[in-house]
Copies of this chain bind each other. A is one copy, B any other.
Amino acid sequence: LKRVVVVGAGFGGLEVATHLRGVPVEVTVVDRNNFHTFQPLLYQVATAGLNAADVAPAVRGLFHRQANVAFRRGSATGVDWENRRLFLAEQDPLPFDHLVVGAGSVTNFFGVPGAAEHAFPLYTLADATRLRNHVLERFEAAESHPDLVADGALTFVIVGGGPTGVETAGALAELIHAVLRKDFRGTLDVARAQVVVVEMEPALLGAFHPASQRHALDTLRSRRVEVRLGARVSAVEPTRITLAGGEIISAHTLIWAAGVQANPLAGALGVAQGRGGRIVVDADLSIPGHPEAYAIGDIAHVAAGDGALPQLAPVAMQAGRHVAAQIKADLEGGRSKPFRYVDKGTMATIGRRAAVAELPHGLRLSGTPAWFAWLGLHLLYVAGNRNRLSVLLNWGWSYLTWDRGPRLILRSEEP
């Protein structure tokens, strides 16, 4: 049987494996984590709305009923193209006949001094739980040491006004003003807490229609989020943030939602890289010069017009399905076909009953209808029925009670 090795159990990688069901190949999905991460909901883990496990099903569990898929936990470090083997850190190489590279992105700090050391990125599950621990911990610290408030303990700066930044800002404001206000009633003036979004461009949600951008801005501001447009962070220290122009914000927390770059694996493959280090692929998603290998998802640079397709889950998923079809066609002696991305729209949620959605044919939703559409769609796409139920339970509970469940400060290093 031909061996298909898929690097990365993200949206793209899982689609490839799932759509090779019943195809006479041996699929091995490789990931450094033993779970898939549903990244669009990481900000809810970070703001104590969901459990870590709710957005992170074990990969092995997802394939209990698909006999031709195995999982290997490991870090891919490079490819021996000649002998068709994938190198893994501290493990024997994995031989392949077809390789699919879907290793995703890592945070890009754009060289801002101090950002890599002190900022809180929000791209992995570990990032999300680390941020949750830190945010809740700052409130506890401010209660025991009230002078820390002036020092910035309750000031949360979010860099980046894209969907992640907007969603995090909205959820954080809700956590603070709806839940923590009750938690600390009487002992700490939670109203002094501030959420600030810093965005370089003159508008939030750059990829959206101006009406959606305005809706997001107005909603965030009405929910006590300070939005600074046309502003840029130039340096990060543990308790203060310097903006270009010299202004200093006292803040113990800088959440980095400003950008990503290709996983360093892309640079280790000896292939052409595009913007952000992404692997430039042919029209059929194969890697030029390596017809047996494909790149999909955030790590792939798929030409579209003057630029590339956006780094979004639907792009990765459609690409995954395309690659599965390509591999199947190849086995059956069929011809390679170009990948065509069908844009079914984009959404961003801002908070309780507030979201924006842009659908094909210029249809736009905002407010409650967009929020319900967002909820339904995300519930549908969360992998695994148990996770779907758990997410539904947590959302239902939060909606009805204005409470948040998993708001524990849990550090593994603690005794």
Contacts and interface: CB of A to CB of B under 8 A. Distances in A.
A53 interface: yes
A282 to B, nearest CB: 31
B144 A74 contact: yes
Nearest to A53: B406
A192 interface: no
Contact of A70 (B90, B129, B187, B401): B187
A414 interface: yes
A61 interface: yes
A408 B56 contact: yes
B408 A411 contact: no
A405 B50 CA distance: 14
Interface in A101-156: 124-126, 129-130, 133, 136, 140, 143-145
Interface string A393-415: 11001000101011111111111
Interface string A6-35: 000000000000000000000000000111
A275 interface: no
A186 interface: yes
Interface residues of A, number: 56
Nearest to A133: B412
A67 to B, nearest CB: 8
Contacts of A126: 410-415
Interface stretch (A161-169, A297-305, A383-391): A383-391
A144 B32 CA distance: 12
Interface of A: 33-35, 51-54, 56, 58, 60-61, 64, 70-74, 88, 90-91, 124-126, 129-130, 133, 136, 140, 143-145, 182-184, 186-187, 386-387, 389-390, 393-394, 397, 401, 403, 405-415
16 contacts: A33-B409, A35-B409, A35-B410, A51-B390, A51-B406, A58-B183, A70-B186, A70-B187, A73-B409, A88-B144, A125-B410, A126-B414, A129-B410, A130-B412, A133-B412, A390-B394
Given A52-B410, A386-B403, 15 more contacts: A33-B408, A33-B410, A34-B407, A51-B406, A58-B408, A61-B407, A64-B403, A70-B187, A126-B415, A130-B412, A386-B405, A389-B393, A390-B394, A390-B405, A413-B413
